[in-house]
């Protein structure tokens, strides 16, 4: 069946339907990873976004039960060049197309994703609509104009946990290793790979909803606070910024992605939206302390403005080698640090896993 992709600026692509039939709206962004579409689709940071995969053939290894990053698909749409109906992987239990249908996710294939990516790079990420309907283009554009927007909207409230929970969720999955540190995880859209990485580093985890008061977390008497990844614009998440201000100096804090941005805002910094963001598994980042270069996994459309941070209190630790933007910082006197990228590496290289060890040392 035919499908259409229409961007807010009127750019129009026609292709074939992938996944569910219907209409989907979201911010159209591109990801340069060659693999990992299952992790990308289930990453809560992609809530309200339609992902363009720049790698040309997608779906050839299907979907398996091991590589989910959350309980469902969070991306609002999926855009690819060529869909592979043939699935070949020993762990796969269904095709990508069936998986998208199961969660009602509308996608499109057989479009020129190279041209689309170049357009997004030149004109910026923007709202778009995928549809299998035959509604007139003018009506679809009007729906984009009057529909929901990304900037200024608190997406965290839409996806955070309803109540706190211990992780792992079941006793059978717990290992026989001693968990040395209690870590309170603020769930702004946390990925399962992050929870696994913290647990593997000896952390007993309790995951709290984003709006949990600092006192409720402190009453649990944790050894550290983790600020998770999450979707959208960090500035509307004011309650989390206020919470982090209250927690600073009381307990070690480690932030990733949106958690990094919230920590930056709590320290007096400002955030800005990138033209088309950083999304992929091949972004070079320089660790200024050691001089080493890490190849990192990234997914964000906003950054902390390095110049806005108080220079007498904050030390920049990592920068992006593609565009020089801030990728990490730490407080000079308090036990608090964060990075913009994803050291849990799902999908992506494991160059940055040392950051979890650094967090453990802070708690020690």
Q: Are 50 and 24 in contact (CB under 8 A)?
A: yes
- Residue (of 231, 275, 6) closest to 116 by Cα position: 6
**N- to C-terminal Cα separation, the chain:** 58
| Side-chain half-sphere CA neighbours of 127 within 13 A | 15
d(CA 103, CA 9) in angstroms, rounded, equals 29
Active-site residue (options: 39, 294, 344, 362) = 344
Active site residue 342: yes
Active-site residue (options: 47, 260, 331, 342) = 342
Residue 272 parent element (H or E): strand 271-287
d(CA 103, CA 19) in angstroms, rounded, equals 9
Q: Are 49 and 76 in contact (CB under 8 A)?
A: yes
d(CA 115, CA 28) in angstroms, rounded, equals 13
Active-site residue (options: 257, 260, 300, 331) = 257
Q: Are 167 and 207 in contact (CB under 8 A)?
A: yes
Q: Are 210 and 204 in contact (CB under 8 A)?
A: no
Active site residue 257: yes
Going from the C-alpha of 71 to that of each of 106, 153, 245, 291, the distances in angstroms are: 18, 23, 31, 38
Phi, psi of 258 (to 5 degrees): -60, -35
Going from the C-alpha of 1 to that of each of 6, 21, 59, 126, 134, the distances in angstroms are: 17, 9, 18, 25, 11
Active site residue 110: no
d(CA 91, CA 165) in angstroms, rounded, equals 29
d(CA 82, CA 58) in angstroms, rounded, equals 6
d(CA 121, CA 234) in angstroms, rounded, equals 22
Catalytic residue positions, numbered: 257, 342, 344
């Amino acid at each position: 069946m035919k499908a259409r992709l229409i961007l807010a600026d009127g750019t129009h692509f026609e292709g074939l339907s992938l996944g569910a039939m219907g209409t989907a709206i979201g911010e159209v962004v591109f990801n340069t990873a060659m693999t990992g579409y299952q992790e990308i689709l289930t990453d809560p940071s992609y809530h309200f976004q339609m992902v363009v995969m720049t790698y040309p053939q997608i779906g050839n290894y299907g979907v398996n039960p091991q590589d989910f990053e959350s309980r469902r698909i969070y991306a609002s749409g999926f855009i690819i060049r060529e869909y592979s109906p043939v699935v070949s992987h020993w762990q796969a239990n269904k095709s990508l197309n069936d998986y998208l249908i199961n969660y009602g996710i509308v996608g499109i294939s057989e479009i020129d994703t190279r041209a689309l990516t170049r357009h997004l790079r030149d004109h910026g990420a923007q709202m778009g609509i995928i549809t299998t309907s035959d509604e007139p283009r003018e009506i679809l554009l009007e729906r984009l104009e009057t529909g929901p927007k990304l900037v200024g909207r608190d997406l965290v409230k839409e996806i955070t946990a309803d109540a706190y929970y211990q992780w792992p969720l079941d006793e059978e999955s717990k290992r026989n290793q001693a968990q040395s540190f209690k870590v309170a995880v603020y769930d702004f859209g946390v990925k399962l790979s992050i929870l696994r990485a913290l647990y593997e580093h000896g952390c007993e985890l309790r995951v709290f909803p984003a709006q949990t008061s600092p006192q409720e977390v402190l009453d649990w008497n944790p050894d550290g606070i983790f600020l998770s990844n999450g979707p959208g614009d960090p500035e509307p998440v004011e309650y989390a910024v206020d919470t982090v201000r209250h927690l600073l100096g009381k307990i070690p804090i480690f932030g990733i992605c949106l958690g990094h941005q919230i920590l930056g805002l709590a320290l007096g910094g400002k955030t800005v939206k990138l033209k088309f963001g950083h999304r992929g598994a091949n972004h070079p980042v320089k660790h200024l302390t050691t001089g080493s270069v890490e190849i990192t996994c990234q997914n964000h459309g906003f950054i902390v403005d390095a110049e806005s941070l108080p220079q007498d209190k904050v030390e920049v630790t990592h920068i992006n080698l593609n565009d020089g933007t801030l990728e990490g910082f730490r407080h000079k006197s308090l036990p608090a640090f964060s990075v913009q990228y994803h050291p849990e590496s799902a999908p992506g290289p494991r160059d940055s896993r040392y950051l979890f060890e650094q967090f453990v040392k802070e708690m020690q």
